[in-house]
Amino acid sequence: MSKIQVMDEVLANKIAAGEVVEKTMNVVKELVENSIDAEATEITIKLIDSGVKEIEVSDNGIGMDKEDAKLAFERHATSKLKNLDDLFYIESLGFRGEALPSIASVSNVRLKTSNGEIGTLITINGGKDMKVTRSDLQEGTTITVSDLFYNTPVRLKYLKNLYVELAHIVEYVNKMALSYPSIKFTLINNDKVLLSTDGSGDLLKVIYEIYGADITKKMIPISSENDDYNISGYISYPEVNKGNRNSITTLVNGRVIKNNELNKCIIESYHTYMHKGRYPVIVLNIDVDPILIDINIHPTKMDIKFSKMDTLKDLVEKTITKRLEEITLIPEVSVRDSYSVSEVRKQITEKKEEVKDDKKYEEIKLDFEVFEEKQDYDKKVEEELKESLPFDLEEEKIKPKIKKMIPRGVVLMTYIVAENEDGMYLIDQHAAAERINYEKILKQMKEKPIIIDLLIPIRIELRKDEYILAKERFSLLEEYGFTVEDFGKNTIIIRSHPAWIPEDKSEDIIRNIVDLIIEKGEFDFDQFIWRMAATTACRMSVMANTYISPEDEEWILENIRYCDNPFTCPHGRPTIITYTKYELEKLFKRQLD
C-alpha cells in the first residue's frame, strides 16, 4: 500500500487556515477586502467578544449569484485571476482564493448574498455540510463567522486576550478607513461603536475620526511624483510622535502593507527632527503601476516587493524632508483652563454629531490650516549679525526661520528666556548650540578640509576585531581630513584632524569617532557622517547646568535663527518652545474665551 496519499480537502483547508487565519483580525481583513473588491461603499463590521465569538461583515456591494456563492468556498476559486499574466498585474485586494475556505474550515459560517436578481443563503459548519437556500433580494453580502477555531483547540488556545485581539482589529480597520476615505466604515464591538466614518472621500476627516482634533491640527499634506510613483497623504509635525511604528500607515494602490525598508526611509526623513525611539504619525498613499510590484509574497498579502525601490525611497525622503523644511516647527505650549476642559469634554460626547455636522467640521478645518501661515521676516537682521555667525549670508542668501528674539535671562542655568512681539520663548542652550555647531560642521565637511597637525599624536589601542574594522575603514576618516596610521599590535594613531574639531576637546571627540567606525553590523555611510557630526557638535557645545554670559545668549539666539532646522537638535530633541501672547494671557485669566 502506498505511503503517500492525497490529503483530505477539509484537512488541507485547516492547514491553509494556519497561514491565512492566525487571529481574529485576519478574518476581518479577508472579509473586508472581499467587500472592497465587490465595490462596496458601506462596510459594517460587528463583533461579539472581539470577534472570538462572532464576526459579521456586511456590505452594499455587487453581491453574488447562487453558483458564485457556492464556488467561493472552493479552494483557489477566485474571480480576480484568469491566467498567468493576471498574476503580474493584480489590482484587486484578494486574488488567491484561499481565504473563505480556510475561514470556513475552522469556524461556523453563514453567508447571505444577493446581486439584486437572486438571493442566496449558505451555511457551513467546520468546512463541511454546506446548505444552500434562498434569501431576500437586498443587494450586497453579509457573512457571519462564529465560534472561530472551535474545532482546532490548539489554535484557539493561542489567541491573545480579548483586548489584544480587539486592538489588532481596530488598528487594521483604521488603516483601511485611511486607505479608502470614500467608503463608509462602521466598527462595532458588543454593541459599542468604535469607529464610524462618513465615506465622504475627505482623508482629513478620517484622520480626525481616528486620531482626534489635536493630532489632526498638526498634520501636513504632502504630494509628489516621479516617473514611476505618485505619493500623497499627510505627515505629522515632529512634536506629534509615538513610541512605536503603528501610526505609520503605508498604502500601495489602496492595499495596507508593511515594508521595513520603506518604514526605515520614512523614519530617516525625520532624522534630527525627532528623538530616537519616537515615530511620526504618517498616512502615505503610493500609487504605482501593478507591474512594478509583487504582492504574491505571503498569504496575508501585507508584504510587498518593489522593483524600483531606490526611486521610491528617494521620492519619499525628498518629499517629506522638503515639507518639513517649509514649515515653522516651534512647539506651542497649550494652556487649558476650566472653560477649555469642559469644551473638550463636550466635543468628546458629541463626536459623532461633529463629524456629521459640516459647519462644525469646516470650523475645525480652518484651524488645521494654521500651519500654512507664513512667517514675517525681520529685514534688518543681517546688519545686526555677529561676526561669529557660521553662515555667509551674502553667498547663500539665507533668511531666518525665526523672528528676532530678545534675551531676558537664563533659568536653571539651562534655558534662555527670550521674547518678541509674538510671545515668550524658552531655548535649551545645549540643544540650540548643538544644532548650530552641527550645521556648521556639516557645511565644513563638504568643503576641502583644513588640517591641524597634532603636537602629540593620539594613540588608540583596540581589540583585535575592532582593530580589523578600523583598518578596513581608515579611508572614511582620511577623506575628511584625519591622518590615521597603523601602529601595530591592535593599535592606531591619529596624527592630524580637520579644523572643525576644537583642539581642546580633540582627543575625546576623536575617540568617539573611532568608536563609530568600529561598530559591527551593516555599515551605513550616511549614518556614520551624521553621527560623526552630531557627536562632535555635542562635545563642543555648552552643556546644561552651565553658566553662560549675556554675549553667549545673544550668540545662540542669533545663530539658531539661521539654521536649516532650528527647531530640534541633531538627536531630535526640541531646541525651542513658545508661549504665545494669547496663551500667557489665558494663564493669567486675561483671556477667558
pLDDT value of residue 408: 94
d(CA 57, CA 112): 11
Task: Measure the CA angle with vertex 330, ends 327 and 331; round to 5°.
Answer: 120
CB environment 176-194: b (16+ within 10 A), e (fewer): bbbbbbebbbbbbbeeeeb
Cell 459560517, located at residue: 109
d(CA 77, CA 368): 47
d(CA 126, CA 152): 10
Which CATH code for domain 212-326?
A: 3.30.230.10
Question: What's the sign of the alpha-carbon dihedral 25, 31, 34, 39?
Answer: negative
Which of 64, 285, 323 minimizes the C-alpha distance to 181? Answer: 285
Cell digits of residue 517: 567606525
In 117-228, the DSSP E strands lie at: 119-125, 128-134, 140-146, 184-189, 192-196, 219-225
DSSP element (H, E) containing 260: helix 260-269
Cell digits of residue 308: 524600483
Which CATH code for domain 378-593?
A: 3.30.1540.20
Cell digits of residue 226: 516621479
Q: State the amino acid at position 402 in one-letter form.
A: I
**CA 373 to chain CA mean position, Å:** 25
d(CA 114, CA 224): 41
d(CA 27, CA 4): 32
Residue-range domain boundaries for the chain: 9-196, 212-326, 338-373, 378-593
Specify the pairing of strand 229-236 against strand 282-288: antiparallel
d(CA 353, CA 362): 13
For residue 110, what are the β-bridge partners?
123, 144
Digit-coded pLDDT (tens) for 82-128: 444 444 444 445 444 577 888 888 889 999 999 888 899 999 987 67
Model confidence, pTM: 0.62
Helix, strand, coil abundance in the chain, percent, nearest 5: 40, 25, 35
Cell 503580474, located at residue: 88
For residue 494, what are the β-bridge partners?
458, 484
Specify the pairing of strand 483-486 against strand 423-428: unpaired
Task: Measure the CA angle with vertex 390, ends 388 and 395; round to 5°.
Answer: 115
Q: List, run by run, the mean pLDDT of 10-residue segments along the chain (593 residues).
A: 53 48 86 90 94 93 88 64 44 57 86 90 83 88 88 65 83 90 94 92 90 85 92 90 82 84 89 79 90 63 75 92 78 50 43 46 43 36 40 55 92 94 93 94 88 90 81 85 87 92 88 84 80 90 91 94 91 90 85 65
pLDDT value of residue 82: 46
Digit-coded pLDDT (tens) for 504-562: 888 889 988 888 888 766 778 888 888 889 989 998 999 989 999 999 999 999 999 99
d(CA 133, CA 116): 16
d(CA 312, CA 262): 8
The fold adopted by the segment(s) 9-196 is Heat Shock Protein 90 (3.30.565)
